[in-house]
Amino acid sequence: MSLIKYQRPTIKTLEKRLSEKRKYIQLLAGPRQVGKTTLISQYIKTAKAPTYYVSADNQSSEGSMWISKHWETVRLKLKTSKRKVYILIIDEIQKIPEWSEVVKKNWDEDTRNNVNIKVVLLGSSQLLIQEGLSESLAGRFEYIHLGHWTYNEIHSAFKLTPEEFAWYGGYPGSMDLINNEQRWKDYINYSIIDATISKDILLLTQITKPILLKNLFELGSIYSSQILSYNKILGQFTDAGNTTTLAHYLKLLDASNLLAGISKFTNKPHKKRSSSPKFQVYNTALISAQMNTSFQEIISDSNSWGRIVESVVGAHLLNNRLDNGYAVFYWRDGNDEVDFILKKDSEVIALEVKSGIIKNRSGLNKFNNLFSPNKVYVIDNSGLSWQEFITINPKELFN
C-alpha cells in the first residue's frame, strides 16, 4: 500500500469536526514529514463542502496581508456561489509573521457578520502553539495532533517488520529509500533533522547558541534511552553555557517532537525539576541516521541493538502520551533503575524493558516497595515481547 492510499485515523477526527456547526478553528499540527499535507489532500478529495487550500511556503515576503488576501477571496466565493459554507485551509501557517493576530481578526469578523467560513490551519510542531495560539487565539481553536507514525500504521502502509521499524523509524516519506541506507540517512539528516532545527526552531525562537542546540540533539540521539546529568552534558561541549541553557534547548527539541528529556519520577516536584534527563528520541530513525553502521550489522550486536529496542519502546510511549493523557518518567536510586514510569491521574505503572543490555535488575523490586505501583510490566522475549508491545496502544495498560 502506498502513502497516498493509506489514510491515518486522524482524518476521521478532522472530518467529524468540520461537519459540525462552525465554532472553532481547527489546528492540525505535528512534526515534519508525518503526512499533514497528504492527510489534508485526502480530506479535500472527499469533502462535502467546497474547500480553498493555500500554502504559506515561501510566501512570508507578503507578510500578514497574504492571509487577509486569501481570506477575502473565500468570502467572495462563499457570497457568489450561494453555498452555505466554505472551508479555508492554510498550510505552513507558522511561516507568516504575526499570523495569529491576522487570523484572529478575520475569524472574529466572520463571527460577528455570520459568515460561515470554517478554517483549518496546518503547521509544524508544538512551537506553533507557543508562538501565538495560546494568547491571540485562546478559546478559538481546537488542536488535532498528528504525531509520528506508529508501528501499526507503518506496517499497514509499507509492510515493515518490527525490527525494520525499530531501525528505519516511522517517517513515511523515507520508506522508498530504505534499500539504499546512505541515501535514506541523507534524507533523514537533511530533510528532517536539519530542516526542523533550522526552520521550526531557529526561525521561531531566539537562540543564542545554535551550534549548541544542534550538538545537544546529536548527543541526545546517540544516548537515547540513557540518563545523563546536565553537568556531564556540559563537559561534552565547548562554550556550552550553563545548565539552564541546556534545559531550555532540550524543551525546544521536545516541543519539535525530536528529542525529549524524560524526568525522574518522584513525589517531590522540586526534585523532578532538578533531575538528570533521560534522553529519548521521538522516532528511532533519528538515531540510526546518525550511526556509521547498517541495519544488518547492528541487529547482530546485542548491546547496540538493545539500545534501539529500548528507544523504540520509549518512542512508542512518548508518541501516545498526548492523546491518552498520561505522563512518562523514569526512576533511579543509586544503581537501581526502572526504564519507564507512566502516570495518569493517580494511577502509576512501572515498565521494564529487558533488551539484552546488562543492567542491575533490582530496581523494579525496590520501586515496587517504595511506591506500590498499580501495575508492573516487564517487556522481554519470555512474555510480552517488544515486538508485541509496539502494536498495543499504551492506554490499554491502564484500568
Quick: pLDDT tens for 336-382.
999 999 999 999 999 999 876 656 667 899 999 999 999 999 998 88
Least confident of 63-72, 101-110, 124-133, 165-174: 124-133
pLDDT at 94: 81
List, by residue range, all CATH 3.40.50.300 domains of the chain: 10-145
CA angle 338, 342, 345 (to 5 degrees): 140
pLDDT in tens, 246-270: 899 999 999 899 999 999 999 876 5
Say yes or no to pLDDT of 136 above 80.
Answer: no
pTM: 0.89
Phi-psi region of 183 (alpha: psi -120 to 50; beta: other; left: phi over 0): alpha
Q: What are phi and psi of 207, to 5 degrees?
A: -120, 120
> In this model, does residue 88 exceed pLDDT 70?
yes
Mean pLDDT of 83-112: 92
Using the predicted structure, report yes or no on whether residue 119 has a pLDDT greater than 80: yes
Quick one: DSSP state of residue 5? T
> How far apart (Å, rounded) are the C-alpha atoms in residues 317 and 225?
12
378-389 average pLDDT score = 91
Q: How far is the C-alpha of 316 from the C-alpha of 282, rounded, in Å?
A: 8
Indicate the pLDDT class of residue 137, thresholds 50, 70 and 90.
Answer: confident
d(CA 246, CA 242): 7
| Mean per-residue pLDDT over the chain, rounded | 90
Q: Which of 10-19, 135-144, 279-288 has the lowest mean pLDDT?
A: 135-144
The top-scoring range by mean pLDDT among 58-72, 74-88, 126-140, 354-368 is 74-88
Angstrom distance (rounded) from CA 276 to CA 332? 10
Which backbone phi and psi does 213 adopt, to 5 degrees? Answer: -60, -45
- Position 361 scores a pLDDT of 66
> What pLDDT is attached to residue 139?
83
Which pLDDT band, with edges at 50, 70 and 90, does 1 fall under? very low
Secondary-structure class of domain 10-145 per CATH: alpha beta
d(CA 307, CA 303): 7
pLDDT at 128: 61
Percent of the chain whose predicted confidence (pLDDT) is above 70: 91
Banded pLDDT at 158 (limits 50, 70, 90): very high
Residue 50: pLDDT over 50: yes
Instruction: List the one residue out of 254, 235, 241 whose CA is nearest residue 208.
Output: 241
Q: Which of 177-191, 205-219, 267-281 has the highest mean pLDDT?
A: 177-191
| Percent of the chain residues past pLDDT 90, beyond the cut | 68
Question: Using one digit for the tens of pLDDT, what is the confidence trace for 268-281?
Answer: 765 555 689 999 99
CA distances from 72 to 55, 60, 69, 78, 334 (A): 16, 18, 5, 10, 63
Higher pLDDT, 391 or 233: 391
Task: Output the pLDDT for position 206.
Answer: 80
Distance between CA 86 and CA 214 in Å, rounded? Answer: 42
The confidence score (pLDDT) of residue 235 equals 80
Query: Rounded mean pLDDT of 317-335?
Result: 93
Sheet holding 25-30, edge to edge: 51-55, 86-91, 117-124, 25-30, 141-145
Residue whose entry in the numeric block shows the C-alpha cell 526504564: 339
Q: What's the rounded mean pLDDT across residues 130-153?
A: 83
The answer to whether 164 and 295 have CB atoms below 8 angstroms apart is: yes
Within 10 Å of residue 120's Cβ, how many Cβ atoms? 22
